[in-house]
Structure 1
Amino acid sequence: MPRENYQQRLEDLRAEVVSMGDLVLERYDAAVEAAETGDDDLAREVIEGDYEVNDRYLELEEECTELLALQQPVASDLRLVTASFKVITDLERVADLATNLAGYGGDEGGLHPAVDFREIGDEAGEMVADAVAAYEAGDPDACRAVAARDDDLDERCRQASEAVVRDLLEADRARVEANRSGESDPDSEELAGALDEVSRALLAVRDLERVGDHAVNIAARALYMIENDDELIY
């Protein structure tokens, strides 16, 4: 293959990875909106549209494989191709998490009063967007900045999970005390509903934390691509 065509394929690969990132973030934002508002139609659109992300992933996986097998890139070109393959893998997993998140919203929207789902979700999504932008621009400082934000996201997720469990325990204690005093009888449907709300909230928080982890993975691979530096990988 002429050198010009080879370089163009590398440039096209980077552009297509960024385009996949845009698609995934579009689906992710829709998933957060669906969970926050309880929009069943939007949730269904996110879930049923996941095939488009999967198709894009398979196309780019094939392109990476062909470049590795047929062109045998070395040095920075090799890092670009291998990093791109890792980045699309993380993006595909963010899309999978988006399908989970889309289905967590209750009938009237929201997950649990103790969780600021929108704020945490937006922060995790911004980390992914910034990591993809760092990959596109070849910006090592931006890569490190994304990784540095992960501890804060993890802490917010931890606090949210603890708040959900604490709220459940307090509500259960109140029900027990009310039952003992004869003020009310246990309501199995109400308890089941509360447990379902807690379960969905905890799963959602876990998945948001994982979105942040994938953002760090993308930033780590981008940094390796840019500077041959694996400090964020291990």
Structure 2
Amino acid sequence: MARESYQEQLDQLRSDVLYMGELVGDRLRTALSAMESKDDTAAMNVIEGDAEINQLYLDLEGDCVDLLALQQPVASDLRFIAASFKIITDLERIGDLATNLADYSLDAERDVFPEVDIQSIGDETLDMLETAMEAFETEDHDTCLAIADRDEEVDEMCRKASEAVVRDLMERNISNGTDDAEIEQLMNDVSRLLLTIRDLERVGDHATNIAARTLYMSEGDDQLIY
């Protein structure tokens, strides 16, 4: 393979990773919107679109393997390809989490815990993802470090939200005469909401992983890799 063609493949890989980030971000945004508006059609679009993200991941994984096997890259090119491989893995997992959120929205028939601001947490994690992909595109050191700081803030938001759900449940007056079906529905609502909080926290973790790999890719700095 001519060197020019090799560089073109590297450029194409970068473009494809950025495209995957845009696609996953769009699915996450749609899932969050579906949860807020109870839009079953939008939720189903996210669920049915997960196969596209999975296929894109497999295609890009193959591109990374081919570049590693056929070109034996060194130094910065090697870090770029390795980082791209890790980043598409995080993006694929965020796609899975967006699908989970869409699933939850299909089951949510009521706002049982309106004091828990899921949308604020979701908006923060979505912005983290978009900012992490911008940092990947520009190889911005400071932005990568800032995303790691924001992840701690998201963790705290999720901790407080989970505690609020549990506290509200404990304070509810469930009498002996409460219908079993009503209790079961309440417990399902609690479980779904706690899973939603957990999955949003994981989106933040994956966005931080993207920042960590970008930092290592651009500067060989592994301080955020853990």
Q: TM-score, with normalisation over the residues of structure 2? A: 0.96
For 1:110-189, what aligned pairs fall within 5 Å after superposition?
A: 110=111, 112-171=113-172, 174-176=173-175, 179=176, 185-189=177-181
Question: Is the 8 Å Cα contact of residues 28 and 95 (structure 2) preserved in structure 1?
Answer: yes
* Residues 1:231 and 2:223 are matched in the alignment: yes
Pick one of 180, 196, 199 that aligns with 2:191.
199
DSSP 3-state at the match of 2:223: coil
- In structure 2, the residue matched to 1:218 is 210
Question: Is the 8 Å Cα contact of residues 115 and 201 (structure 1) preserved in structure 2?
Answer: no
Q: Distance in 2 between matches of 1:175 and 1:111?
A: 14
DSSP 3-state at the match of 1:159: helix
Alpha-carbon offset, residue 108 of structure 1: 3.9
* Residues 1:21 and 2:21 are matched in the alignment: yes
The code of the aligned residue for 1:87 comes to I
Q: Distance in 2 between matches of 1:45 and 1:166?
A: 34
DSSP 3-state at the match of 1:175: coil
For 1:16-95, what aligned pairs fall within 5 Å after superposition?
A: 16-95=16-95
Alpha-carbon offset, residue 42 of structure 1: 1.2
The code of the aligned residue for 2:67 comes to L
Question: Is the 8 Å Cα contact of residues 134 and 140 (structure 1) preserved in structure 2?
Answer: yes
Question: Is the 8 Å Cα contact of residues 115 and 160 (structure 1) preserved in structure 2?
Answer: yes
Alignment length (residue pairs): 225
Calculate the aligned-residue CA RMSD, in Å.
Answer: 1.2
Alpha-carbon offset, residue 109 of structure 1: 5.7
Q: Distance in 2 between matches of 1:232 and 1:118?
A: 27
Q: Distance in 1 between matches of 2:211 and 2:81?
A: 15
Q: TM-score, with normalisation over the residues of structure 1? A: 0.93
Q: 1:74-109: per-residue Cα shift (whole Å, max 9, x none)?
A: 000000000000000000000000000011124546
Larger radius of gyration: 1
The code of the aligned residue for 2:116 comes to V
The gaps in structure 2 that reach 5 residues or longer are none
Question: Is the 8 Å Cα contact of residues 37 and 108 (structure 1) preserved in structure 2?
Answer: no
Alpha-carbon offset, residue 175 of structure 1: 2.4
Question: Is the 8 Å Cα contact of residues 116 and 164 (structure 2) preserved in structure 1?
Answer: yes
Alpha-carbon offset, residue 228 of structure 1: 0.3
- In structure 1, the residue matched to 2:97 is 97
- Structure 1, 42-51 or 210-219: larger mean CA deviation: 42-51
Q: Percent identity?
A: 57
User: Residues 209 and 233 of structure 1: is their aligned pair in 2 closer, same or farther, counting only changes over 3 Å?
Assistant: same
The gaps in structure 1 that reach 5 residues or longer are 180-184
